[in-house]
Amino acid sequence: MIVRSKAPLRISFAGGGTDVSPYFEQYGGAVLSTTINKFAYATLSTREDQDLTVSSLDYDIVAKYKCDDCFAYDGELDLVKAVINNVRNTYTWDNSLNHRGMDIFIHSDAPPGSGLGSSSTMVVALIGIFQRYLNLPLTNYDLAELAYKAERIDLGIKGGLQDQYAATFGGFNYIEFHPTSVVVNPLRIHPEYLNELEYNLLLCYTGRTRLSAHILDRQIGSVSEKRDTVMEALHESKRIAVEMKNSLLQGRLNDFGALLHEAWLHKKNLDTQITNPEIDNLYEVARKHGAIGGKILGAGGGGYLLFYCDFRKKHIIAQKLEECGGQVVEFGFDSAGLQTWITN
């Protein structure tokens, strides 16, 4: 038997950071995001022995274990180990499965540190193959929560809640984060507005990935200390997420673009390393040549920039960004969320 899954990467428009503890526990958080047609993939193939092999195309690693091993986290394929440990500890595996090995193969359309939620999306894809293989009774909320536990709690990887829910549910969502619950609100946006939005958006790779842990550590410390600049930036980011949601639903896309710029101005106040001279230069070039607004995706420091452009100037902006060292990437929206299937 071969089980495959794919989970979509996400673009977060506004509200990022308000889904990170302790902010949402004290004030409630809200994020506006969508998933795109870039994916994390996982494949599970059964074996006749008890061996477990894990192959990562992105890291060019092949590791061998035993299926009944208790996996320690040592920096080698820890996302896979955390998923297996969580599934095994949370659900009762059928005895026959305990004596069957498997091969797991994983790869992603974007590397960790890209700002597209790739690590969390990979965890969702991995849980997806086990959900399908073991026929686990998981709702989308259960699956996203299990992904959060594996990555954030068990592995201690810094970050918020939004990525796991975005990858699981898919599509445009306004996601609310409460102290004890998460609510995913799917947005019914008119297809004409979606087509126009997709046509006017431009995604640009800055040329480098980043490690977000230090940025998030400082943000968490700032929230704990209630530093005025950071608290105001997070409050405003949450407000802008609401306004952007309304502008999308009402088809006010130029307002959406202007709010994207406003969100970027507040995001930069969260930490001094969210931007750098290279990012600032790319942003200024895009704005100079007609971008209405834009922002860095994810925690910042590298990865992808997203711009909303006047369609008549989008090709010029793309050319200028490429001349400055950026890499413009084609993409489209994806609404399906996590998908799994069985093949032979």
Catalytic positions? 163
Query: How far is the CA of 330 from the CAs of 95, 218, 242, 285, 291, in angstroms?
Result: 46, 33, 27, 19, 17
Query: How far is the CA of 302 from the CAs of 17, 107, 168, 187, 306, in angstroms?
Result: 16, 21, 25, 29, 12
CB atoms < 10 A from the CB of 143, how many? 24
Query: How far is the CA of 182 from the CAs of 192, 248, 331, in angstroms?
Result: 29, 22, 28
CB atoms < 10 A from the CB of 288, how many? 10
Q: Do residues 45 and 102 lie in contact, with contact meaning Cβ atoms separated by under 8 Å?
A: yes
Contacts of 216 (CB under 8 A, 6+ apart): 20, 158, 159, 299
Q: Is 13 helix (H, G, I), strand (E, B) or coil?
A: strand
Cα 227 from Cα 139, distance rounded (Å): 38
Q: Is 105 helix (H, G, I), strand (E, B) or coil?
A: strand
Closest CA to 42 of 126, 135, 111, 148: 126
Q: To 10 degrees, what angle do helices 140-148 and 162-169 make?
A: 150
Q: Do residues 326 and 114 lie in contact, with contact meaning Cβ atoms separated by under 8 Å?
A: no
The residues with which 295 forms a beta bridge, in sequence order, are 306
Q: Is 91 helix (H, G, I), strand (E, B) or coil?
A: coil
